[in-house]
Structure 1
Amino acid sequence: MSIGRFVQDYSGPGDDMRLRIRDLREDRDLTQKEIADYLLCDQSLYSKYERGERPLPLELAVRLAQFYGTSVDYLVGLTRNKTPYR
């Protein structure tokens, strides 16, 4: 990948997380409302997490990682490996 393409595709440090939490949800055919209910928050707030308009609190990132069977490192883009640490 060229640096120009990388810069074009990457919009900031929260970019990976917002894309990954949306993709994980959509891969499981879940609605934002269902995930918001699991996290005990309002759907509109969860939507802001997915759009990168609000930072996802660490506690909720941990709960999402557990729910999806992955690691927080994967959610925030520190690794491409979906498998959680053992």
Structure 2
Amino acid sequence: MKIFAQRLRELRNSRRVYQKEMAEYLGISVRGYQCYEAGQNYPDVKGLIALADYFGVTLDYLVGRSDSRT
């Protein structure tokens, strides 16, 4: 799921949001969030939905099943 990590980083950077802010939004540690962007760990379903809602993209886009954001 390397695509997930890449897309998550790109989406965060496009919004100019810090990793710390994302971690707080998701209710996890900064290190936990960093593991998402490094492709070392992945959020649960609730976390995936929260990320998709935050960035206004589909779950399929976020996890690399589609190249369409909407």
Please classify the TM superposition score into its range, dividing by the shorter chain length.
over 0.9
Deviation of residue 56 (structure 1)? 2.1
Which of 52, 55, 58 is 1:68 aligned to? 55
Structure number, greater radius of gyration: 1
Unaligned runs of 5+ in 2: none
Q: RMSD of the alignment, in Å?
A: 0.7
Superimposed CA distance per residue, residues 9-29 of structure 1 (whole angstroms, 9 cap, x where no aligned partner): xxxxx1110000110000010
Q: Who is 1:31 aligned against?
A: 18
Count residues with an aligned counterpart: 70
Identity %: 34
Unaligned runs of 5+ in 1: 1-13
**Larger displacement relative to structure 2 (32-41 or 55-64):** 55-64
TM-score under structure 1 normalisation?
0.78
1:1-12 superposed matches below 5 A: none
Which one scores higher on RCO, CA 8 angstroms, separation ≥ 6?
Answer: 2
In structure 2, how many angstroms separate the alpha carbons of the residues matched to 1:55 and 1:40?
Answer: 14
Q: TM-score, normalised by structure 2?
A: 0.95
